[in-house]
């Protein structure tokens, strides 16, 4: 009897559109690059440009990547989709892997479970970024599966600075602005495995082979693949 091929792990990329879109981030383009990078590493990747729909349909999904903007931007008010809230909570409870990239640090504000799981956020009035450009992101913790053997990242990107990072998050990589060190990549393991990469403003960031490799490692670690 022929042996069946193992099923590819499944990832859903929740992409900024509608109230999760903004004028600065080309979410469809960057989500397409994320999907391409993960498919090259064996993932069954689906892009969903309805964030609430994505959150409500995570059954059988191994990994959720959020690449979306702030729904409260410009005075938007909380608006909780009950199915989305329940879907996200159930997925986290069963141990789905999570990755938040770039603007995801200010996204899903209607869902405290997201903020708790990723261990940090963009704080309006506190967080900021220097002009987009070439940058080095330094690996400072090589004792983790994401960074074991990894080298510093050379990227063209928008470097989020003065982010709020919870004390129990494990910072793996930083960038420097005017002599100050800022967290760029971190992980958490409770209540589920989560990876935050503050990188990924536009497609040029994903031209970095080091960032692509980091994303592939992050996906496998978060989803326990």
- Domain at 180, CATH number: 3.40.50.880
1 within some domain: no
CA distance 183 to 87: 30
Give the pLDDT score at 6.
72
Average pLDDT over residues 119-141: 97
Asked if 204 and 28 touch (Cβ cutoff 8 Å), the reply is no
Average pLDDT over residues 82-104: 98
CA distance 114 to 105: 10
Average pLDDT over residues 39-49: 98
- Is the pLDDT at 1 greater than 60, yes or no? no
Residue 46's Cβ-count burial label (10 Å; 0-12, 13-18, 19+) is: middle
36 within some domain: yes
- Is the pLDDT at 2 greater than 70, yes or no? no
4 within some domain: no
32 within some domain: yes
77 within some domain: yes
- Is the pLDDT at 64 greater than 50, yes or no? yes
- Is the pLDDT at 74 greater than 80, yes or no? no
Count Cβ neighbours within 10 Å for each residue of 113-139 and write b for 16 or more, e otherwise: bbbebbbbbbeeeebebeeeeebebeb
90 within some domain: yes
Percent of the chain exceeding pLDDT 90 equals 93
> Which range of residues forms the domain containing residue 55?
10-222
Question: What is the number of domains present in the chain?
Answer: 1
2 within some domain: no
Band (pLDDT 50/70/90 cuts) for residue 25 is very high
pTM metric for this prediction: 0.95
Between residues 2 and 222, the one the model is more confident about: 222
62 within some domain: yes
Could you read off the pLDDT of 144-167 as tens digits, one per residue? Answer: 999 999 999 999 999 999 999 999
């Amino acid at each position: 009897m022929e042996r069946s091929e193992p099923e590819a792990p499944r990832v859903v990329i929740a992409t900024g559109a509608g109230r999760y879109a903004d004028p600065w981030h080309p979410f469809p383009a960057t989500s397409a690059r994320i999907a391409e990078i993960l498919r090259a590493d064996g993932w069954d990747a689906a892009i969903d440009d309805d964030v609430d729909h994505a959150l409500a349909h995570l059954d059988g999904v191994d990994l959720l990547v959020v690449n979306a903007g702030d729904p409260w931007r410009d005075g938007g008010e909380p608006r909780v989709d009950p199915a989305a809230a329940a879907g996200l909570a159930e997925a986290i409870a069963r141990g789905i892997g999570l990755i938040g990239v770039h603007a995801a640090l200010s996204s899903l504000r209607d869902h405290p479970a997201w903020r708790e799981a990723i261990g940090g956020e963009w704080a309006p009035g506190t967080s900021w970024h220097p002009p987009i450009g070439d940058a080095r992101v330094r690996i400072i913790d090589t004792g983790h599966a994401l960074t074991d053997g990894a080298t510093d990242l050379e990227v063209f990107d928008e470097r989020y600075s003065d982010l709020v990072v919870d004390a129990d998050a494990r910072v793996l990589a930083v960038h420097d602005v005017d002599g100050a060190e800022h967290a760029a990549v971190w992980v958490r393991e409770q209540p589920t495995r989560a990876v935050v990469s503050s990188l990924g403003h536009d497609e040029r960031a994903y031209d970095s082979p080091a960032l692509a490799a980091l994303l592939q490692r992050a996906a496998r670690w978060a989803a326990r693949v």
